[in-house]
Amino acid sequence: MRRFLFLIGVFASLSLFAGEDLFGHLKLAEPLPKGAWELYQIVANRSDKGTGTYEAYNYEWEVEYGVTNRFTLSGGLAGQGLDTSGLLVDGYLPGDNEYSFKLSGAELKMAYNFLAPAKDGVGLSMFLGVEKTWLDPHSGFDKDSLSLSTGVNLQKYFLEGQLIWAGSIGVESTKATRGELEGLPEDFEWPTFAEVELEWTGRTGLSYRFVPKWFVSLEAEFQQEYETEVNLERESLFMGPSVHYGGKKFWLTLSYLGQVRGSGETYEGQPDGYHLIEKTKREIILKVGFNF
């Protein structure tokens, strides 16, 4: 009977977060129901590279559809804007750059749910994504990239669904080629041959429903990237809180992620204990979703 009541409570609350994002980057394993649609708008602000001025905005517009109760498809477009000055890093940041918005890429994703967290005790979904971009998210200059990502999302309920644990591990492989630039400083390195990058990411988090429709969460993200020329190029650990509201027709999540530590490639004058060439010290993420 206790197990039965637990399942009733969990299933009753599924409409609050099936397909929703309770965290900044971490995804749940719970799929959209068959025939359901969700429209997402995501805005992320990345700032502070330790020296100079650096502030970037990344935008995503995504539509997700529940093909079956286990299989979902999604597609979207990405854009970005940035303001960077006083930073010069060989091979990464070739000089000042500023613009408010440019369309930067497109992505197609699919996910299949093998285990349902309410019925099977733990949720397990596998995802696969293909992304094409034509702007470097770090420098803002032309960079033609094709990425393939895959991995798994995990999810488990505690306290009759009031507390949710989620975890994920994923791998992304990328082939990228920088565009030619004129007027670079003398002896500045700016390779324009094709490079191959391999990135793996592990995430975990807890989310707690403290009042109906409201969740507070904490997540951690560890990431490493390997690149053709330098092998292990970077690693970083980010942590931070989120607050989430889940309504009947829409939901929103506000997250903060700060870099706890990092290592790898560095530039002259950067603070110790961080990776700040491709990462920043902090990231603020706002997500809004609409259910159809």
Parse the chain into domains and list their residue ranges.
2-291
Instruction: State the Cα–Cα distance between residues 218 and 210, nearest whole angstrom.
Output: 13
Q: Is the dihedral of CA 190, 193, 194, 197 positive or negative?
A: negative
Residue tagged 């498809």 (tokens) = 73
Q: Tell me: the pLDDT tens digits for 9-56? A: 443 344 444 568 999 999 999 989 999 999 999 999 999 999 899 999
Q: Which has the closest alpha carbon to 18: 41, 35, 1?
A: 35
pLDDT(69) > 80 = yes
pLDDT band with cut points at 50, 70 and 90 for residue 78:
very high
Whole-prediction pTM: 0.89
Instruction: State the Cα–Cα distance between residues 166 and 222, nearest whole angstrom.
Output: 14
Average pLDDT rounded to a whole number, residues 178-191 = 86
Instruction: State the Cα–Cα distance between residues 1 and 125, nearest whole angstrom.
Output: 28
Q: Tell me: the pLDDT tens digits for 196-233? A: 999 999 999 999 999 999 999 999 999 999 987 778 88
Residue tagged 């700016």 (tokens) = 190
Q: Tell me: the pLDDT tens digits for 94-149? A: 989 999 999 999 999 999 999 999 888 999 999 999 999 999 999 999 999 999 99
Phi and psi (nearest 5°) for 240? 175, 170
Residue tagged 């702007």 (tokens) = 135
Instruction: State the Cα–Cα distance between residues 96 and 98, nearest whole angstrom.
Output: 7
Measured CA distances, 228 to 59, 131, 155, 175, 225 (Å): 29, 20, 34, 10, 10
Mode of pairing for the β-strands spanning 282-291 and 97-115: unpaired
| More confident: 187 or 206 | 206
Interior/surface letters 92-108, b for 16+ CB within 10 angstroms, e for the rest:
bbbbebeeeeeebbebe
Q: Which CATH fold topology does 2-291 show?
A: Porin (2.40.160)
Residue tagged 């290592």 (tokens) = 263
147: left (phi over 0), alpha (psi -120 to 50) or beta: beta
Contact 28, 166 (CB under 8 A): yes
Q: What whole-number percentage of the chain has pLDDT above 70?
A: 93
Structure tokens at 267: 């530039």
Structure tokens at 63: 């539509």
